[in-house]
Amino acid sequence: MIEEKEVGTFEAKNKLSSLLDEAARGKRIWITKRGKRVALLSSGTSEVSSGSTRSLCGEFRQIRGAAKPGSKSLKELIEEGRR
């Protein structure tokens, strides 16, 4: 399980370097504003993150593969959208 902690915006501003170090070691740091979570610091290299990215890329590839090219050019489609 990934360790998490919450810090307020003031603390995050004053301790950003140390918070980034903690995030690099795998900890998730939630930044709160008036008690509500507004941002997340994390390493970006977690298995969850990269796995989600891979599955999302795979879904985009499937959509692109299933799309059939139309007879209109991009310019024609843009012009049609302006009408």
pLDDT tens for each residue of the chain, 83 residues long? 778 999 999 999 999 999 999 999 989 999 999 999 999 999 876 555 556 677 888 888 888 888 777 888 888 888 888 87
Number of domains in the chain: 1
Please tell me the predicted confidence (pLDDT) of residue 71: 84
Angle formed at CA 16 by CA 11 and CA 20, multiple of 5 degrees: 130
Please tell me the predicted confidence (pLDDT) of residue 50: 54
* Domain presence at residue 30: yes
Task: Residue 26: give its domain's CATH number.
Answer: 3.40.1620.10
* Domain presence at residue 83: no
Please tell me the predicted confidence (pLDDT) of residue 46: 54
Model pTM score: 0.53
Inter-residue contact 5 to 18 (CB < 8 Å): no
* Domain presence at residue 70: no
Inter-residue contact 3 to 30 (CB < 8 Å): no
Determine the structural domain holding residue 19 and report its residue range: 4-65
Inter-residue contact 55 to 30 (CB < 8 Å): no
* Domain presence at residue 81: no
* Domain presence at residue 71: no
* Domain presence at residue 80: no
